[in-house]
């Protein structure tokens, strides 16, 4: 068999461990030829390849990033020479030109959707779940998440000591636009006083009151961990209304108008944590500082747990390919690796349920969520 591999979407630690696992198992145990496509779906559209031989697969287990490169390009909407084009036909052409038997796509939620599109275009696809956001449906965990939790926790630990020295509020923004898993786990591990998640709209007055209450108890510093997609109750209501308008739009033009408004809101939301920090300083009269962890959370060496998960998913992927089972994402559920149909994965983000045991545990140790 001849298989292709690509990595798509935002990078994360563990991608190389997964490429290595798929490649080694495919070559050594099943005698397959393995070709890498560069820079996500773009490499497939423009036929940019890298032969993943034993030499290239060796020594990459601990490397961050992806040796294949990645991009957020979508097969059906790709910027080529300044124009947005549907490259599905070109992708199908490259697949057949290389006489591939299957294509493995490593990525997050968007990649799962794009892989399904290619399945519908007639290709044999299999996917693996990666994202530091841990928001892909039907898998308990995605690789990259464990490492990002450790990086964010380490940062919170370091910020704690400086917050204590200066009697300050330190707001720490972590990644997670729609789902708050990273903020929740790193916040708990780092002993955050307040955690703000996209799933629990907050009232800034409540956050300020939680901080003032700490001061009254003699604790003159506070750590506020904020997911980048966290929203005030007023903003959440606005977004909720727009989302409803989009769902019930009568024409494509109306839908587009609402989408533009939503986009404008999200574009403006990038300043959200800066404004929140200022607002908290005003309300509490306590000096406040903001740290945005950003892409630090996606870089560097994968944790042991991510290496193990990527290796388990990758080797099972080779086994699944050998059994000619296609149109599935490899997933971990209750400690077991299995295959789930792509149709069931897409359009189902895994959000933090507001009654999740981790939220209960955090509340029981006195952490506030601003609600
Ligand atoms: O991969 C998901 C994610 O980590 C989000 O949490 C974050 O908002 C996004 O990537 C940013 O990615 P980029 O800057 O690469 O577009």
Per residue in 132-156, pLDDT tens? 999 999 999 999 999 999 999 999 9
* C-alpha 22 – ligand 1 centre gap (Å): 25
> Domain locations in the chain?
2-143+302-345, 148-298
User: What is the share, in percent, of the chain residues with pLDDT greater than 70?
Assistant: 100
Fill in the DSSP letter of residue 158. Answer: H
Average pLDDT of the residues in 20-44: 98
pLDDT per residue over 280-312, tens digit each?
A: 999 999 999 999 999 999 999 999 999 999 999
pLDDT per residue over 170-179, tens digit each?
A: 999 999 999 9
Average pLDDT of the residues in 175-195: 97
pLDDT surpassing 90 at residue 121: yes
Nearest CA to ligand 1 atom 7: 175
* C-alpha 158 – ligand 1 centre gap (Å): 23
pLDDT surpassing 90 at residue 106: yes
Token duo for residue 106: 């490593």
Beta sheet of 336-341, edge-to-edge order: 49-51, 33-37, 2-7, 102-107, 125-129, 328-333, 336-341
Asked whether 133 lines ligand 1 (CB < 6 A), one says yes
Q: Cα separations (Å) of 281 from 130, 222, 287, 289, 348?
A: 37, 12, 6, 9, 38
Strands 2-7 and 33-37: parallel
**CATH pick for 148-298 out of 3.40.50.460, 3.30.1360.200, 3.90.180.10, 3.90.700.10:** 3.40.50.460
* C-alpha 335 – ligand 1 centre gap (Å): 27
Asked whether 10 lines ligand 1 (CB < 6 A), one says yes
Q: What is the pLDDT of residue 328?
A: 98
Asked whether 15 lines ligand 1 (CB < 6 A), one says no
Asked whether 108 lines ligand 1 (CB < 6 A), one says yes
Average pLDDT of the residues in 192-215: 98
Asked whether 246 lines ligand 1 (CB < 6 A), one says no
Q: Cα separations (Å) of 9 from 41, 142, 231, 285, 369?
A: 9, 14, 24, 41, 30
Q: Annotated catalytic, 133?
A: yes
CB 26 within 8 A of CB 316: no
Q: What is the mean pLDDT of the chain?
A: 97
pLDDT surpassing 90 at residue 358: yes
Fold agreement (2-143+302-345, 148-298): yes
pLDDT surpassing 90 at residue 57: yes
CB atoms within 10 A of CB 68: 24
Nearest CA to ligand 1 atom 16: 10
Q: What is the pLDDT of residue 338?
A: 97
pLDDT per residue over 67-96, tens digit each?
A: 999 999 999 999 999 999 999 999 999 999
Asked whether 310 lines ligand 1 (CB < 6 A), one says no
Asked whether 131 lines ligand 1 (CB < 6 A), one says yes
Average pLDDT of the residues in 165-184: 97
CA atoms within 13 A on the CB side of 221: 16
- Cα-Cα-Cα-Cα torsion 243, 266, 152, 331, nearest 10 degrees, comes to 40
Return the CA Rg of the chain: 22
Which residue among the candidates 133, 146, 193, 306 is catalytic per the annotation?
Answer: 133
* C-alpha 54 – ligand 1 centre gap (Å): 31
CATH topology of domain 2-143+302-345: Rossmann fold (3.40.50)
Coil, strand or helix: which one is 13?
coil
Question: Model's pTM, two decimal places?
Answer: 0.95
Cα–Cα distance for residue pair 128/150, rounded to 1 Å: 22
Q: Going by C-beta distance under 8 Å and a sequence separation of 6 or more, which residues neighbour residue 113?
A: 346, 347
pLDDT per residue over 209-231, tens digit each?
A: 999 999 999 999 999 999 999 99
**Residues 215-245 as b or e (16 or more Cβ within 10 Å = b):** beeeeebbbbbbbbbbbbeebbeebeebeeb
Q: What is the pLDDT of residue 118?
A: 98
pLDDT surpassing 90 at residue 347: no
* C-alpha 294 – ligand 1 centre gap (Å): 8
Cα–Cα distance for residue pair 13/132, rounded to 1 Å: 8
């Amino acid at each position: 068999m001849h298989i292709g591999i690509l990595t798509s979407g935002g990078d994360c630690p563990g991608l190389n461990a997964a490429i290595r696992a798929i490649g080694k198992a495919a070559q050594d145990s099943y005698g397959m030829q393995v070709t890498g496509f560069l820079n996500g779906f773009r490499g497939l559209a423009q036929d940019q390849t890298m032969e993943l031989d034993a030499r290239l697969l060796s020594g990459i287990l601990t490397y961050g990033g992806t040796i294949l490169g990645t991009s957020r390009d979508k097969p059906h909407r790709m910027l080529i020479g300044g124009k947005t084009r549907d490259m599905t036909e070109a992708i199908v052409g490259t697949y057949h030109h290389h006489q591939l038997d299957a294509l493995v796509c490593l990525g997050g939620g968007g990649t799962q959707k794009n892989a399904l599109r290619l399945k519908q275009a007639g290709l044999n696809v299999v996917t693996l779940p990666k994202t530091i956001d841990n928001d892909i449906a039907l898998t308990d965990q995605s690789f990259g998440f464990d490492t990002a939790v450790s990086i964010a926790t380490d940062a919170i630990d370091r910020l704690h000591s400086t917050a204590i020295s200066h009697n300050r509020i330190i707001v720490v923004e972590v990644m997670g636009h729609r789902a708050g898993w990273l903020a929740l786990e790193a916040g708990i591990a780092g002993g955050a006083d307040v955690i703000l998640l996209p799933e629990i709209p907050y009232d800034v007055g409540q956050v300020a009151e939680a901080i003032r209450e700490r001061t009254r108890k003699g604790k003159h510093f506070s750590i506020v961990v904020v997911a980048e997609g966290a929203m005030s109750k007023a903003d959440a209501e606005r977004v909720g209304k727009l989302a409803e308008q989009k769902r019930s739009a009568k024409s494509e033009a109306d839908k587009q108008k609402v989408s533009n408004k939503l986009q404008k809101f999200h574009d403006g939301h990038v300043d959200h944590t800066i404004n929140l920090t200022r607002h908290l300083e005003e309300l509490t009269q306590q000096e406040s500082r903001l740290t945005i962890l950003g892409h630090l959370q996606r870089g560097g060496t994968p944790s042991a747990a991510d290496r193990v998960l990527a290796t388990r998913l990758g080797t099972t992927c080779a086994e699944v390919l050998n059994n000619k089972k296609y149109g599935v994402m490899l997933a971990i559920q209750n400690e077991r690796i299995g295959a789930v149909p792509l149709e069931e994965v897409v359009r189902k983000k895994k959000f933090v349920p507001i009654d999740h045991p981790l939220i209960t545990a955090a509340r029981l140790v006195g952490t506030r969520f601003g609600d």
